[in-house]
Structure 1
């Protein structure tokens, strides 16, 4: 019986060591990193490529229709977008793999004026290592990550973050 338990423990330790040795290195994005480029289509059928926004600040918000904090901050994001869009700050709301019907209903309900795109394959979410929703990645005009914000933001937070990434 002791031999069986010992063999099970050795197997478990071996499996753990093997998994740790062969696991992919997942780099967590941080301020100063180059923002990974991507291309996603919005609800109107327009393609948005992050690199097309070079020279502008990008307020990249990852969200879901089921996410209560996401729903609370969307109207404030829209109001601030209206204030900052002519100052070189763009908003891209990246929905995580929900149906176009759900996302369109949400966008209509909140009368969102900024582009709403759907990350159908979760490839952008994976590239940015997004775990909690909402998460907002602030991309400066040089295409670098200025800040990563997790959790719900107030309207004052949003205004301050847009000021941070506004071109000079």
Structure 2
């Protein structure tokens, strides 16, 4: 009788251990799941630099370009920096050579990076004349919003309020928004742009 009692106790203990191992995942599985993190180093992105920052990048919304003249599409497989600007906006004009230089630098570093200069000028002639006077900005990377109001519509999901140009948005190679920023840029911002384009 004593042997039967001991056997029963051992059987129940083994059964309980088996059920417990099935109900809780093993420790290594939890660690593998927790290890899936963004490759974007957050410490290289100053707080509030982006008005809207999406990390990990897969959380960003998929976007397409607003209606443009001439028509354009987002380049697939590239980081695309959208620069919303106007010929009458002095801070916009001041930073445009900076953006052109960043494109050259990042491309030289092996980052597939392109800047699109999207003007909110109402008259096509204003943009054409400005581009002719500024050959450092590739005309093939510039376009005008078909309607100025389209910018407000495009920006609506990002809740920027009454933001005015210049406005910037970085789109990842997957077509998802990584960062939206209202306000001008300075030379020292290149480090942050590098961190975002990873």
The match for 1:115 is 141
TM-score (norm 1): 0.67
The match for 1:166 is 197
* C-alpha distance in structure 2 between counterparts of 1:92 and 1:105, whole Å: 18
Matches within 5 A, 1:30-49: 31=54, 32-38=59-65, 40-41=67-68, 45=70, 47-49=71-73
Decide whether the 8 Å contact of 1:96 with 1:125 is kept in 2: no
Q: Flag the structure with higher strand content.
A: 1
Decide whether the 8 Å contact of 2:118 with 2:142 is kept in 1: yes
* C-alpha distance in structure 1 between counterparts of 2:90 and 2:197, whole Å: 28
Please report the RMSD computed on the Cα atoms of aligned residues, expressed in angstroms.
2.5
The match for 1:91 is 115
Shift of 1:29: 6.4
* C-alpha distance in structure 2 between counterparts of 1:116 and 1:40, whole Å: 13
- Quick one: which of 63, 80, 101 aligns to 2:85? 63
Shift of 1:134: 0.3
SS of equivalent residue, structure 1 residue 71:
helix
Shift of 1:48: 1.6
Aligned length: 134
Decide whether the 8 Å contact of 1:139 with 1:146 is kept in 2: yes
Larger radius of gyration: 2
Structure 1: which 4+ aligned runs deviate by more than 6 Å?
Answer: none
* C-alpha distance in structure 2 between counterparts of 1:102 and 1:155, whole Å: 27
TM-score (norm 2): 0.58
* 1:132 is the counterpart of 2:159: no
Decide whether the 8 Å contact of 1:61 with 1:135 is kept in 2: yes
